[in-house]
Structure 1
Amino acid sequence: MKIFTSPQIRKCDAFTIENEPVTSLALMERAATACAGWLSRKFSGETVYNIFCGHGNNGGDGFALARLLYHKGCDVNVFMDSAQNLSADAEINFKRTKDISGIEFSDFSKVNKFQFEKESVIIDALFGTGLNNAIEGKSAELIKVLNELKFPKISIDIPSGLFADEVSDKNSVVFKADETLSFQFWKKAFLHAETGQFCGKINILDIGLSSEFIENEISDSFVIDEGLVREIYRPRQEFSHKGNFGKTVIAAGSSGKMGAAVLATQAALKTGSGLTFSLAPQCGYEILQTTCPEAMFLKCGQDFITSFEVDQDVILGIGPGLGTERETYNALLAFLKACDKTLVLDADALNVIAENTDHVNLIPKKSILTPHPKEFERLFGTTENSFERLNLAKDKAKQLEIYIVLKDHHTQIATPEGKVFYNLTGNSGMAKGGSGDVLLGILTSLLAQNYSVKEAALFGVWLHGKAGDFAAENHSKEAMIPSDLIAELGNVFKYLNSSQ
């Protein structure tokens, strides 16, 4: 699914209005209808909806929503600034709603003394995506009051105070929603930590915007949805043999850090690698042969890896638990200087490269890097926020012709073509040491199975996150551990195969 900027979404609205044709007021009605349906399914019949309407089209959505909820038999209160002029469509929906005697209207100034019912829900329809300045004055004070109320909070389109396409000032006043009902498209603000924290759970509602516009409009940002994953995934064909699924080598581990090598190797095996090898120091021999009997052991050093020489017909993932001993450091740099094939690089492999800014030029083209924010900073420099970090990653991915997987709550993949893909699977239970080792094993295994580098990156990140979601469901976010991700990979593949 494409991610559009606010100007592009306005263009999509205008194109739909002109070419369907449909009036802007009818489009507003669609949005309100979709929200009313969602709210009716979410909350009980005893719920009292308190809708806070601004003067623009987001407020118009709120007025229409109030009317539709009332006609469904719901109790509704509407709050507004009586002194402000409304936009044309908001004015029409205000008049339609004002005429309903069963809906109580109150000025924003009354909110402090208003007696909210026990089963109240607060609905934010104040500003939407039309906002281009930080909220100040009475509106800011209102949002502060609403944020203190201990009721479920729902934002329509986007939490008021957020900008759709960029980070807000850290001191900005923003409505903090439990859930956001947005229309047709994901917005970048939903997907970055600094802004997504205000959005709660995101619900994308289809309001029938022009499929022609969506198909033809160019975007460089996308979400990895299940439809895209199903296009990438290739179920195993009958009469296959192990040679059809490649050779994976996991170069990992050092004394005291063999667990990382185990996790990466087990993940490669569980993702379908035809033949899997562990390139590791002798100190890890018993550990790996015991925990990963399906993988073959390649000795390279005693307590740490001292060589990375492998056959040409393998795909190599390097980094988990590697350490940065001088012999390992020198051996890796020497290997990179001579290597011209795709690699997956993580953890200490990235730390070795980061020791000198010139080392990034040794990374083979079409390789996949999987840095967490601090590793990315050591590699490419500091940035002020995740929006800037992603822009820098896009520049570096294009410059070096590599794929950069920025690990985050919504992991982002920057491609050499200048595109960005946001992953929607995964959860905070994966924020534990070892989860990245699992990802390296998954990515390396997919590359060995002849998925393209782009396919492996997109599918691998989704697969990793989906396994995390299954693990959280079965064990809780607190109790789940990285080995649970590996255990759930089979269930993810069963899920994909169940609807083929």
Structure 2
Amino acid sequence: MLNLLTCEQIRLTDQYTIQNKPVSSLDLMESASCAFVGAFKSEFPDINISICIYCGTGNNGGDGLAVARLLKEAGYEKVSVQVVRFSEKSTADFDENLKRLKLTGITVLEIHENDNLILESSDLIIDALLGSGLNKPLDGFLKEFVRHINSQNKKIVSIDVPSGFFAEGKIDTKNVCIHADLVLTFQRPKINFFFPESAEALKRFKVVNIGLDDNFIQSLESEWRLTEDSDIHHILKARRNFSHKGTYGHSLIIAGSEATMGAALLCADACLHAGSGLTTACIPLQGLTALNCYCPEVMALVRGDDNISQIRSGKFKTIAIGPGLGIGLEEISLLKEALNLESLQLILDADALTILSKNTELIKLLPLNTIITPHVKEFDRLFGTNDNWWDRLQLAREKASELQIVILLKNQYTFVITPDKNIHINPNGNPAMASGGMGDVLTGIITALAAQGYAADEAAIAACYIHALCGDIAHKKDGMYCIPPRYIISKIPSVINSLANNS
């Protein structure tokens, strides 16, 4: 898991790297600028593109000056620089890079507060006004200048963060910031890049390694963790010789109603494809034909008076309850019974979460390590409304710790919050996955992994990664604009196999 850092921790890491590599701060700026230019060249290989770099007078501006010099050395001849003097102060590294830049012949203009703002003629703007340390909203001249840049509808690439955007903490979407098409960010993504409120500030980001001490970064305490491929390789295990269906657990999916059998089918089929040794769907009688036709490998337990004894039988290792279930008295009774089975791994989704939100006394009865999988509205109904994702995630940390459960809060970048208050961010996923039934598939994958013996946090983290990776393959490799959930299911076995056999 990669630690994600606060601005203060980024500053400490810079200092540690400078003191222990050892390198000067100017050398570190040069390294960052070289990394930026390397990534920029792969994104914009046409050296005839015209580029204007807008620089502040701090170290982010110093990066911009170095980038201008390095781009010209790389053959980009149409590079100009505008230094925005919104402050009389400048850093030593900015001043040194300005001296170096003037030797290249690149045009450097200065913009002052009372100057008339003119339209930019270059094809592309590089934003180097402000770095990640911003702690207050833009105001005055700089606020108006950023609005001026945004109004020109130019392609914008920001260095490290979009100027005016907070790298951490509450995001106020009313604040003015650069609207970047691409952010080339240093060493680690910024925490706020993963929040939906970041959508206006950046369309896309890429991380460039600038040579900071990675061991030091990983030694810092952080509740923010970014899941990597290697983490999933470590969690998943290849199947052993002489294993059998009993080795991989028996999952029970309590789901579906007469009008919503699709949710039950998707969940059960995903559970089957994700490797549960046996899968049983507890469904209404009206859904039996659909189940047998759609996935005949899944066994059926028809809902009725004897369900309680069947659920208590001891043959199931994990129970998922909720997709398409309904919220009537029978369904409430089934959920209450499931909450009494502390020896089983429990996964709650969809209608099960609605029942909890309408019967809040049940929340305190959740067995230890229960996995709940709310989307944002379900989360707010369960635990209280928040108007920003930063506060929502802090509340999720408190609730996961208080109840000793795993909260999987769905988002384009899904958050898995564990009882130790850590927030694991899934880096995969794409807008093509915005389709009804995706959550049912995810619940099925979690259930299958739990049935195979993976711990609750491991099952949640790995299932998110597998689910989103399947979506990325369908979107990027298969070119699917919108992905029906059943296409995700078809990719699950091969994706799990590739991850497990690379462990």
| TM-score in terms of structure 2 length | 0.94
Residue 418 to residue 308, structure 1, CA distance change in 2 (3 Å): farther
Per the alignment, residue 94 of structure 2 pairs with 90
Per the alignment, residue 464 of structure 2 pairs with 461
Residue 274 to residue 217, structure 1, CA distance change in 2 (3 Å): same
Deviation at 1:340, TM superposition (A): 4.5
Q: What are the superposed Cα offsets for residues 112-150 of structure 1, whole Å, 9 maximum, x if unpaired?
A: 435514xx2111111111211111111111111211223
Residue type at the aligned position of 1:12: T
Residue type at the aligned position of 2:400: A
Per the alignment, residue 9 of structure 1 pairs with 10
Q: 1:53 aligns with which of 52, 55, 65?
A: 55
Worse-matched range after superposition: 97-106 or 401-410? 97-106
Q: 2:219 aligns with which of 213, 216, 219?
A: 216
Worse-matched range after superposition: 7-16 or 145-154? 145-154
Is there any run of 5+ residues in structure 2 with no aligned partner, and where? none
Mapping 1:235-254, distance limit 5 Å: 235-254=238-257
Q: What are the superposed Cα offsets for residues 407-431 of structure 1, whole Å, 9 maximum, x if unpaired?
A: 0111101100110001111111222
Worse-matched range after superposition: 418-427 or 106-115? 106-115
Residue 108 to residue 243, structure 1, CA distance change in 2 (3 Å): farther
Mapping 1:322-401, distance limit 5 Å: 322-337=325-340, 339-401=342-404
Contact 2:80–2:106 (Cα < 8 Å) also in 1: no
Per the alignment, residue 64 of structure 1 pairs with 66
Deviation at 1:106, TM superposition (A): 4.3
Deviation at 1:240, TM superposition (A): 2.2
Mapping 1:290-301, distance limit 5 Å: 290-301=293-304
Per the alignment, residue 233 of structure 2 pairs with 230
Residue type at the aligned position of 1:360: I
Contact 2:238–2:501 (Cα < 8 Å) also in 1: no
Per the alignment, residue 412 of structure 1 pairs with 415
Residue 105 to residue 328, structure 1, CA distance change in 2 (3 Å): same
How far apart, in 2, do the equivalents of 1:319 and 1:307 lie? 19
Contact 1:192–1:386 (Cα < 8 Å) also in 2: yes
Deviation at 1:214, TM superposition (A): 1.7
For the residue of structure 1 that corresponds to 2:132, the secondary structure is helix
Q: 2:118 aligns with which of 109, 113, 117?
A: 113
Determine if the alignment matches structure 1 residue 18 to structure 2 residue 22. no
Residue type at the aligned position of 2:18: I
Per the alignment, residue 405 of structure 2 pairs with 402
Is there any run of 5+ residues in structure 1 with no aligned partner, and where? none
How far apart, in 1, do the equivalents of 2:200 and 2:132 lie? 17
Per the alignment, residue 100 of structure 1 pairs with 104
Deviation at 1:355, TM superposition (A): 1.0
Per the alignment, residue 312 of structure 1 pairs with 314
Contact 2:236–2:500 (Cα < 8 Å) also in 1: no
Residue 307 to residue 441, structure 1, CA distance change in 2 (3 Å): farther
For the residue of structure 2 that corresponds to 1:124, the secondary structure is strand
Contact 1:250–1:264 (Cα < 8 Å) also in 2: yes
How far apart, in 1, do the equivalents of 2:5 and 2:456 lie? 25
Contact 1:76–1:104 (Cα < 8 Å) also in 2: no
How far apart, in 2, do the equivalents of 1:461 and 1:111 lie? 51
Contact 2:253–2:320 (Cα < 8 Å) also in 1: yes
Deviation at 1:196, TM superposition (A): 4.4
Deviation at 1:92, TM superposition (A): 1.0
Residue type at the aligned position of 2:176: V
Per the alignment, residue 143 of structure 1 pairs with 146
How far apart, in 1, do the equivalents of 2:217 and 2:385 lie? 35
For the residue of structure 2 that corresponds to 1:128, the secondary structure is coil
Contact 1:341–1:365 (Cα < 8 Å) also in 2: no
Residue type at the aligned position of 1:268: C
| TM-score in terms of structure 1 length | 0.95
Contact 1:56–1:90 (Cα < 8 Å) also in 2: yes
Per the alignment, residue 32 of structure 2 pairs with 31
Q: What are the superposed Cα offsets for residues 431-463 of structure 1, whole Å, 9 maximum, x if unpaired?
A: 221111001100000001111111111100111
For the residue of structure 2 that corresponds to 1:38, the secondary structure is helix
Contact 2:233–2:500 (Cα < 8 Å) also in 1: no
How far apart, in 1, do the equivalents of 2:194 and 2:156 lie? 19
For the residue of structure 1 that corresponds to 2:81, the secondary structure is strand
Deviation at 1:217, TM superposition (A): 1.3
Aligned residues, how many?
497
Residue type at the aligned position of 1:348: D
How far apart, in 2, do the equivalents of 1:228 and 1:338 lie? 30
For the residue of structure 2 that corresponds to 1:129, the secondary structure is coil
Contact 2:170–2:391 (Cα < 8 Å) also in 1: no
Residue type at the aligned position of 2:293: T
Contact 1:398–1:416 (Cα < 8 Å) also in 2: yes
For the residue of structure 2 that corresponds to 1:405, the secondary structure is strand
How far apart, in 1, do the equivalents of 2:310 and 2:91 lie? 66
Q: What are the superposed Cα offsets for residues 12-58 of structure 1, whole Å, 9 maximum, x if unpaired?
A: 00011111111111101100000111111221111122111011111
Residue 340 to residue 400, structure 1, CA distance change in 2 (3 Å): farther
How far apart, in 1, do the equivalents of 2:423 and 2:120 lie? 47
Residue type at the aligned position of 1:344: I
For the residue of structure 2 that corresponds to 1:413, the secondary structure is strand
How far apart, in 1, do the equivalents of 2:310 and 2:380 lie? 26
Taking only the aligned residue pairs, the percentage that are identical comes to: 38
Residue type at the aligned position of 1:445: A
Mapping 1:145-164, distance limit 5 Å: 145-164=148-167
Deviation at 1:391, TM superposition (A): 0.7
Q: What are the superposed Cα offsets for residues 255-302 of structure 1, whole Å, 9 maximum, x if unpaired?
A: 111110000011001101111111111111111111111111111139
How far apart, in 2, do the equivalents of 1:486 and 1:317 lie? 17
Residue type at the aligned position of 2:97: N
